[in-house]
Amino acid sequence: MEHDMRIDLITFEVLRNAFVAAAYEASTTIERIAYHPVIGMGRDRSNAILTPKGELVAHGHTDAAAHYGSFEESVKELLKDIPVSQMQPGDAYLFSDPYRTGSHVNDTRLIRPIFYKGEILAFSCTVIHWPDIGGPYPGTFNPHADSCYAEGIRIPPIKLYENNRLNEPIWKFISLNIRGAIERRGDLTAQFEAGKLMEKRMIELADKYGPEMVHIAMEEQFNYTERMLRKEIEAMPDGEYYFEDFGDQDVLKEGKPPIKVTCTLTVKGDQLTFDWTGSDVQPKASWGCSRATLLGANFLGFMIAFPELFPLNHGVTRSINVISKPGTCVHVNEPAGTTGYCSGAFDKIEAVTIACLSQAIASVKPWRVYPAAVSLTNLCLGGINPRTGRPFVQYTYAVGGENARVFKDGKSLIFMRFCNARTIPQELEERWFPVIYTRYEARKDSCGHGKRRGGFALVRELQVLTDVTMTIHGDREKFPPFGLNGGTNGGGCALKINVGTPQEKDLGMYATGEPLKAGDNIYYTSSGGGGYGNPLDRDPELVKEDIMDEWLTMEAAKKYYGVVVNVIDEDACEYEIDWEATNKLREELRKKPFPRGTGEHEINPLGENIRVEKEPTEEEVQPHITIARPPGW
Amino acid sequence: MGKFVVGTDIGGTFTDVIGIDLETGEQRLGKVPSTPPTFFEGVINGLKRAGITGEECISFRHGATVSTNAILERKGVNTGLITTKGFRDVLGGGRAERISAFELDWDPPPLIIPRRNVLEVEERIGPWGDVIIPLNEDDVRAAARKFKKRGIESVAVVYMDSFMNPDHEKRTAEILREELPGVDVTISYEIRPEMLEFERTTTTVLNAYISPILHRYLEGLAQRLREDWNYDKGVLITTSGGGIIGMDEAIKFPARTFHSSPVSGAVGMAGYIGSLAGFENVIAFETGGTTNNVSMIYKGEPAITHEWKILWNVPCCLTSVDTVYMGAGGGSIGWVDKGNILNVGPQSMGAVPGPACYGAGGDQPTNTDCQIVLGRINPDYFLGGEMTVYPELSRKALQEKIGDHYGWTAEKAAFSMYKVATSNLMLALRLQTVARGWDPRDFCIVPYGGGGSLYAVDLAKELGVGTVVVPPYPGYASAFGAIRVDVKHEFTKPLHKVESELNYDDLNKDMEEVVQQAIATLRKEGIDDKDMTIRRQVDVKYFNQSAFFTIDVPPGEIRDMKEITENFLAAMQAKYGYNLPPGYVQMEIVNLRVVGLGAVSKPELPKLNKTGVAEDAYKETRKVYFEETDGFTDTKIYERSRLLEGAVFDGPAIVEQQDTTTVMPPGCRATVDAYGNLVIKITDKRK
């Protein structure tokens, strides 16, 4: 069967790789020259190439995946305000309006039209999470924001660079409204240079292959991706698949009720439809997200089920139907707050998407059945840095436990699924900010238990060395990442101060603008990944190994796994399984109903029914693992 | 009596020996099978095969492949880690990243030290070197007791912020040596006194993991050289930084010897060969059975990284020549995906069962199979005729797995696959140059390893590189490189001070201290003061910027930041094409850095001293497939060993020699230079 593309296979291969490489190269540039550690070291940034119509062609592979899905909306919305006919080479447009661009105000987009011989060739879009973009509290996060007006400045499409020169008055206007504007100028420049670099690479490609061929390659990339996608969907059995997950609370509503996110996935032939209309109405507080974000989270969940379709591009986005209702928590209307989307709605949408797809895919690719994983905990500290005498904003997070896989345990202390980022070294933060770290350690027993257990959550502790204002915006305290097929939910998040002292206080995941004194200690912990399968079916040897590595306590081993382990010599790290006691205990536990529910270490009643018929082995899964990255990196 | 400088390198299959007489320029070569697990036998055999005696050798250079292999094969010793209380998971947590954007089924390689053997000690040094919590010596002794019971053979000690004050680490090492006699102890301050806790921890752990192995290996080797080869003048070990160090230093810092084989090939061989042909910018391109290694030499200096990764989550963060692996070796497989697109790799058939043509059960088409079907590799002269291959199996695999799918002949399938493989390589090479702000057109390519010169000229055409220089013995690159590099040591001292915090008297004093450290080490290795070059550097950045630049410091006392700032801005401009104006925020000096170079006698590549014409080396004419001719075309085949100085010939042509095959498509001209290098100029640029 000869391929039916308008481009020869080799040119196609060269160009599609070159698009990803350009985005990746831009990302590494930002990594090297950005100022705030969360951007440079932490990689909270992303780069994309889009067609002149705003269709996504490629993105970097080490970026914040939460940004991927909203590139298209950002460029399309920009084009509504400013048509290409009004754009010039050397322009770059700043844009950050969550209702139009998706995600939150901190994620500023710098969009650059790329011209070739007077004609528009492509757009580049560079997103960076600015650690602060105004609002009442350092870091802009405001869990108690009753509207967008309480969480930083929104920026409409605005020509910030003209003829490659910064429009100083506009920048001055922005810098008067944000904290740390001097450093932000460094980050903005990194953002701008990334766009220029992508422009350079695209022009080189047009020089070599001609602009028509570049456009054909983009379109054929979409066709190619869609061809593969349709085959994947066709292979899944037709049907309707439902799942739901919850946010902890709407902190501004009476009684602080949980917030429900639901989806019904319909698979019919080669069509996929995700229907989110059953989700709760939009919360009063900042938790929900705009439609652009919903699309991003939905696409990300889809890509996790089909990583071989990398990179996410228009071939995927045009082929999936996503239905939502304005005014719901997954499609909020102005002026609902959105900074909390990344700990709130986003990871619930992503986890629910994956749980729906898991049901559909279980008989086809059983290894792609995934429980939920660690969520984001946004910790912001602000004050005056004694070292510089100027305001600082520290934005950081705790990584945690990934979901169990049907063939293997989940990874511990790893990044959230929606961000292929890196942790910020503590020794580096200690030099930037007036803090000193005292702990970076897994939390015992925090995994979702199961035949395959989830990964473990992280505990971080730090002491502030000056008076600061602290905000934490997290979730998954009451509704930790869910397990599947009888595996338990993971452990939940927490934040406390001055643990073990008379001043100890449990502040939870929604502490807003909390004043801390120099010397106060912050303890916070992330969530553990959901488990898969009945913990009583877990190989006792594996339970013993977890005890030896001090991931699990003896008590948890008994309680969840029914495994009794005795110490022979702790110093020598010698332990043995008491088989008789284990068999007896397991028998007893099997008779007792295990608590069902959505709380910590309970069995999620909906998730309980999601399972695969025959669990593949690790060796069977190995050949299916796709490492999508440009050649040479 | 000869005065030979001898280089040896141990590969997975062969041990290479090369010796060149400093005075006469005489060159002797030996290639013999490697002899795992000790490898000594192979070295002695190689020396004998080359016909060099210990008495004739004045300097013996060695690539410690054994250390890299021990890590890749997880054959280090049972190692423990002691760290600050509360930070047990710095090592296991790493930087929390994944290899791929969406893939959840991937797992990082297992940890070198399981969590159970990471023990905590109460202590804390503050970010500025002050003691916040004193060292709890009882905790150290308790850890020692546990390690003893657990049979731990080597211990790494890494405390938070210890690079600012090593007292706790040093005291811990003392206690451990008391409690655990005979156990190796590595402290992070001696390995990498720099910020970033995870990177410092893995580097220290790698050192500890390998140290007893390298210790035993090098002492064993020295003994064999003494007993079986009458040589007792010291062994110099190649390093990942592109130099050599003495045996004592190598035993103390085995982490400095990782991946030194490709590095010495790049620096000592490719860089040198390029310079002989008049190039100071060189793309060193090695292709072996499963991977390619690429290193860049720019203005005579190798491109450096401070974050070289042995494996995904195992960075070794010592100053190292940047070597990039690309998965496009001879065994990489071609396959058609669900979307109808032809892909090559990353899966590889490896050496067993290997390419289809090996006839060892591999039924997948590989890069080597393409080369055979396209007529580029002579199946009757595979590994110099030492191995039988079956071209019909190559053809069958290509036809069945690719050709039938698209309705192509096996030849078209082979050519398409070859193009996909080279386009991947081309993109990787472009990223290595353009991403650093360098123009590939300013470089030459020096291919080496068994397969580099199969691809080099085609890649040069694609990249716009004008010249390819194929050395006389590409298969001896690492051994040869070892005899062309100097003694090189590097020392750092962290500073972490912004401009307003600087005290220039202290700064000069600190710098001088590091300089003296370098001089003392060079003297210890027998380098005369007159042969020393001391390079002073600082790592600088704008305060709050994440990454730093390493900037050379002019001679004399440092009294202001003016020149350093100017050089920093120039470096930033060169690499990223932009600058923020000075004074924007304060400059920060992160580390002081001193490179100590000790010049040693380096033999030159001997000249051929024989001239000839291409026809002398003509073997036969056979049909080879080229893109330029859009099919098979009559191609002259030359024998490398008979190509003498002055021989000139044009592509299409193929040059065969025992250790490699050089493919010259139409549109290029080869000239043999005085040293026997094939200098291939691109005469007809593609597109």
How far apart (Å, rounded) are the C-alpha atoms in residues B625 and B634? 9
Q: Is the peptide bond between B346 and the residue preceding it cis, with omega within 30 degrees of 0?
A: yes
Nearest-CB residue to A225 (from B339, B346, B432): B339
The pLDDT value recorded for residue A632 is 47
* Chain B residues within an 8 Å CB radius of A18: 427
Of A14-28, A484-498, B162-176, where does mean pLDDT reach its minimum? A14-28
Collect all residues of chain B within an 8 Å Cβ-Cβ radius of residue A412. 92-93
Interchain pair A442, B87: CB under 8 A: no
Percentage of residues of chain B with pLDDT beyond 70: 98
Q: Among residues A105, A111, A109, which one has the least CA distance to residue A154?
A: A105
Q: Bridge-partner residues for A383, per DSSP? A: A392, A468
How many angstroms separate the CA of residue B606 from the nearest CA in chain A?
35
ipTM confidence: 0.95
Centre a 10 Å sphere on the Cβ of residue B336 and count the other Cβ atoms it contains: 18
pLDDT band at B269 (very low <50, low <70, confident <90, very high): very high
Amino acid at B317: C
- Average confidence (pLDDT) over A96-106: 96
Q: Look at residue B327 and tell me whether its pLDDT is greater than 70.
A: no
* Structure tokens given for A396: 């950081």
Q: Do A551 and B108 touch (CB under 8 A)?
A: no
User: Chain B residues with CB inside 8 Å of A403's CB?
Assistant: 104
Condensed to tens digits (0 to 9), the pLDDT of residues B181-223 reads 999 999 999 999 999 999 999 999 999 999 999 999 999 999 9
Q: How far is A364 from chain B (nearest CA, A)?
A: 15
Q: How far apart are CA B243 and CA B600, in angstroms?
A: 11
Could you give all domains of chain A from N- to C-terminal order, each with its CATH number? Answer: 9-227 (3.30.450), 370-538+597-615 (no CATH)
Residue to mutate among B102, B295, B348, with most A CBs inside 10 A, is B102
Instruction: Calculate how close chain A gets to B388, using CA atoms only, in Å.
Output: 30
Burial B224-247 (b: 16+ CB within 10 A, else e): bbeeebebeeebbbbbbbbbbbbb
B87 to A208: CB separation less than 8 angstroms, yes or no: no
Order of all β-strands in the sheet with B4-10:
B27-33, B14-21, B4-10, B57-63, B235-238, B244-246, B487-498, B587-598, B532-542, B549-552
Is B10's pLDDT higher than 50? yes
Query: Tell me, what's the pLDDT at A118?
Result: 96
Q: What mean pLDDT, rounded, does chain A reach?
A: 95
Query: Encoding tokens for residue A97?
Result: 């309006």
Q: What is the mean pLDDT of residues B389-403?
A: 95
Tell me if B93 sits within 8 A of B167, measured CB to CB.
no
Closest by alpha carbon to A240, among A366, A348, A359?
Answer: A359
The beta strands (E) that lie in A69-118 are given as 92-96, 107-116
Shortest distance between the Cα of A257 and any Cα of chain B, in A, equals: 32
pLDDT grade, residue A145 (50/70/90)? very high
Is pLDDT of A633 > 70? no
Residue B136 in this model has a pLDDT that exceeds 50: yes
pLDDT in tens, B421-465: 888 888 778 878 877 778 888 999 999 988 899 999 999 998 889
- φ/ψ of B322, rounded to 5, equals -70, 115
Mutate which: B87, B104, B107, B463, vs A, most A CBs within 10 A = B104
Instruction: Place B687 in a pLDDT band, splitting at 50, 70 and 90.
Output: very low
The answer to whether the CB atoms of B105 and A624 lie below 8 A apart is yes
Residue bearing the bigger pLDDT, A185 or A456 = A456
Is there a contact between B93 and A405 if contact means CB atoms under 8 Å apart? no
**Contact state of B115 with A549 under an 8 Å Cβ cutoff:** yes
Q: Is the CB of B423 less than 8 angstroms away from the CB of A1?
A: no
Is a pLDDT exceeding 70 seen at residue A1? no
Q: Tell me how far apart the alpha carbons of residues B411 and B375 are, in angstroms, rounded to a whole number.
A: 10
**Contacts B435 to A, Cβ<8 Å:** 25, 28
What confidence category does residue A508 fall into, taking pLDDT thresholds of 50, 70 and 90? very high
β-strands B184-187, B154-158 pairing: parallel
Contact A18 B687 (CB under 8 A): no
Per CB-CB distance under 8 Å, the chain A contacts of B547 are: 31-33, 40
Q: What is the CA radius of gyration of chain A?
A: 24
pLDDT in tens, B629-685: 989 999 999 999 999 999 999 989 999 998 889 999 999 999 999 999 999 999 986
Q: How far is B35 from chain A (nearest CA, A)?
A: 31
DSSP for residue B585: S
Give, for B21, the enclosing helix (H) or strand (E): strand B14-21
B547 compared with A214, residue with greater pLDDT: A214
Question: pLDDT tens for residues A352-391?
Answer: 999 999 999 999 999 999 999 999 999 999 999 998 888 9
* Domains, chain B, with CATH or none: 4-71+214-232 (3.30.420), 74-210 (3.40.50), 332-421 (no CATH), 487-598 (3.30.1490)
Contact (CB<8Å) A461/B149: no
Within 8 A of A621 by CB-CB distance, chain B residues are 105
Look at residues B559, B567, B561 and name the one whose alpha carbon lies nearest to residue B589: B561
Q: Residue A37 — very low, low, confident or very high, per pLDDT cuts 50/70/90?
A: confident
Q: Which of A431, A465, A544, A545 to mutate to test the interface with B (most CBs of B within 10 A)?
A: A431
Q: What gap in Å lies between CA B200 and CA B188, rounded to an integer?
A: 7
Query: Of A1, A4, A6, A10, which to mutate for an interface test with B (greatest number of B Cβ within 10 Å)?
Result: A10
Nearest to B96 among A2, A308, A399 (CB): A399
Could you tell me what percent of chain A has a pLDDT over 70? 98
Report residue A225's pLDDT band, with 50, 70 and 90 as the boundaries: very high
Identify all chain A residues contacting B585, using CB atoms and an 8 Å cutoff: 182-183, 186
**Distances A52 to A193, A462, B115, B637 between C-alpha atoms, Å:** 20, 47, 51, 50
A337 SS3 class: coil
Alpha helices in A96-252 (DSSP H): 98-101, 168-175, 181-209, 211-235
pLDDT at B449: 85
Question: Residue B276: which region, alpha, beta or left (left: phi > 0; alpha: psi -120 to 50)?
Answer: alpha
Q: Contact B96/A423, CB-based, under 8 Å?
A: yes
What is the per-residue pLDDT for B289? 64
Q: Which two tokens stand for residue A125?
A: 């879009």
Check residue A629 and give its pLDDT. 58
Give the type of residue at B448. Answer: Y
Token pair, residue B520, equals 């003392």
- Chain B residues inside the 8 Å CB shell of A63: 101
d(CA A275, CA A356): 11
**What pLDDT does residue B559 have?**
92
Q: How confident is the model at residue A3 (pLDDT cuts 50, 70, 90)?
A: low
Please report residues of A whose CB lies closer than 8 A to that of B324: 632
Closest residue on chain A to B104 (Cα): A304
H or E element at residue B62: strand B57-63
pLDDT of the residue at B55: 95
Q: Count CB pairs under 8 A between chains A and B.
A: 269
Q: Across the interface, do A632 and B326 touch by the CB < 8 Å criterion?
A: yes
| Out of B100, B104, B347, closest to residue A405 by CB | B104
Whether the CB-CB separation of B254 and B69 falls below 8 Å is answered with: no
DSSP-derived letter for residue A85 is G
d(CA A573, CA A559) in angstroms, rounded, equals 22
C-alpha A71/C-alpha A292 separation (Å) is 9
CA distance B685 to B127: 56
Q: Is the model more confident about B261 or about A409?
A: A409
Q: Which two tokens stand for residue A213?
A: 């061929």
Nearest to B103 among A14, A412, A627 (CB): A627
pLDDT for residue A2: 46
Q: Which residues on B lie below 8 Å from A40 (Cβ)?
A: 545-547
- Strands A119-129 and A155-162 turn out to be unpaired
Could you read off the pLDDT of B100-126 as tens digits, one per residue? 889 999 998 889 999 999 999 999 999
Residue B286 tokens read as 């090695």
Would you say B215 and B34 are in contact if contact means Cβ atoms under 8 Å apart?
Answer: no
CB contact under 8 A, A310 and B126: no
Answer yes or no: are the C-beta atoms of A417 and A410 closer than 8 Å.
no
A189/B578 touch (CB, cutoff 8 Å), yes or no: yes
Q: Is the predicted pLDDT of residue A350 greater than 80, yes or no?
A: yes
> How many alpha carbons lie under 13 Å from residue A396 in its C-beta half-sphere?
26
- Which amino acid is located at B34 in the chain? S
Report which secondary-structure segment, H or E, holds A381. strand A378-385
Which residue in chain B has the smallest CA separation from A43? B97
Query: Between chains, do A34 and B545 touch, taking CB under 8 Å as contact?
Result: yes
Give per-residue pLDDT as tens, B273-283: 999 999 999 99
Kindly report whether the peptide bond that precedes residue A311 is cis, defined as omega within 30 degrees of 0.
yes
Task: Give B633-640's long-range contacts (Cβ < 8 A, gap of 24+).
Answer: B633/B666, B635/B375, B637/B378, B638/B614, B640/B472, B640/B678
**Per this entry, what is the length of chain A?**
633
Q: Do B114 and A36 touch (CB under 8 A)?
A: no
pLDDT tens, residue by residue, A562-603 = 999 999 999 999 999 999 999 999 999 999 989 999 999 999
Q: State CA A533 to chain mean position distance.
A: 25
CB A144 within 8 Å of CB A164? no
Secondary structure of residue A217 in the 3-state scheme? helix
Query: What six digits make up the tokens of A632?
Result: 């040479």
Q: What is the pLDDT of residues B35-83, one digit of tens each?
A: 888 889 999 999 999 999 999 999 999 987 788 888 878 889 999 999 9
A463 → chain B, closest CA residue: B126
Task: Give dist(CA A350, CA B102) in Å, integer.
Answer: 12
Q: Are B572 and A33 inside 8 Å of each other by CB?
A: yes
CA-based nearest distance B148→chain A, Å: 8
C-beta separation of B193 from B168 below 8 A: no
